[in-house]
Amino acid sequence: MALFYAFIAIIRRDLLLAVRRRSEIANPLLFFILVITLFPLGIGAQPHLLQAIAPGIIWVSALLAAMLSLDSLFRSDFDDGSLEQILLSPYPASVLVLAKIIAHWLVTGLPLLIVAPLLAVLLGMPTQSIGVLLLTLLLGTPVLSLIGAIGVSLTVGLRRGGMILSLLVLPLYVPVLIFAGNAVEMAGSGLPVDAQINILISILCLSVVLAPWPTAAALKMSVN
């Protein structure tokens, strides 16, 4: 029970911190919207073309936004020493790390879900695939946070960790991108997407169970 309270306390603390520093919520979201508006400007605004590549654009932008937001996951806690406190606490570090990741997803991942339908309409996506897009984002963005946490915990102690983080994290994001993008595309042409959704669910389950573990190990290594 005490572990549960600690879990909740960390989520509450991180959410409170995020509310006090609102730029943390706004930045990834603005980045997401900006990248998506760049595509029609760069490719040209033919509706057919945009409609065809809309799932890919939205997912790649979500991926990049998730990656850019990762730095805020442990950075301030690492700088002010609260990360050490969390790791020194009597509770298993992996559970507390999971709480931090959940809070981080609520702050940076969930807002993407809220604006995604709007952007999908702007890109002219067919209405039947918008629901699937939201479902894939709901299942996929937590995975991005969980896997990204491993990468960021390996590099949090480094002064120039930004570039290396993208090299570590993006290859690991590939399966999510493939299945999610494919599901949205299939939905657009009216085909069933159960298989892709099931695989996304299983990836999510696996990463919830497995990812906090190396993250905690890597944090312990980065801290001392």
Partner 1 sequence: MFLIPNAVVRFFHRMASPPHFYAFTDKVMPWLIIIFVLLTGFGLYGGLYLAPADYQQGDSYRIIYIHVPSAWMSLFIYMVMAISGAIGLVWRIKLAEIVAISSAPIGASFTFIALFTGSLWGKPMWGTWWVWDARLTSELILLFLYLGVIGLYGAIDDKRVASKAVAILALVGVVNIPIIHYSVEWWNTLHQGPTVTKIDKPSIHVSMLFPLLLMALSFKFYYLIALIQRIRIELLQRERNAQWVKAKVLELR
**Binding segment (CB under 8 A) for partner 1, from list 76-84, 104-112, 121-129, 199-207:** 199-207
Can residue 179 be called a binding residue for partner 1 (CB under 8 A)?
Answer: yes
Q: Which of 99, 120, 203, 204 binds partner 1 (CB under 8 A)?
A: 203
H helices of 81-126, in order, are: 82-88, 93-108, 110-122
Can residue 182 be called a binding residue for partner 1 (CB under 8 A)?
Answer: yes
**Binding segment (CB under 8 A) for partner 1, from list 21-29, 43-51, 78-86, 216-224:** 216-224
| Long-range contact pairs involving 86-93 (C-beta distance under 8 Å, separation at least 24) | 86/10, 87/216, 87/219, 87/220, 87/223, 89/6, 91/2, 91/3, 91/6, 92/3, 92/216, 93/216, 93/219, 93/220
Nearer CB in complex with partner 1: 119/203? 203
Return all residues near 151 (Cβ < 8 A) that are at least 6 apart: 70, 165, 168, 169, 172
Per-residue contact flags (x/-) with partner 1 for residues 135 to 164, judged by CB under 8 A: ------------x--x---xx-xx-xx--x
Nearer CB in complex with partner 1: 92/214? 214
Residues that bind partner 1 (CB under 8 A): 147, 150, 154-155, 157-158, 160-161, 164, 167-168, 170-172, 174-175, 178-179, 182, 186, 199, 203, 206, 210, 214, 217-218, 221-222
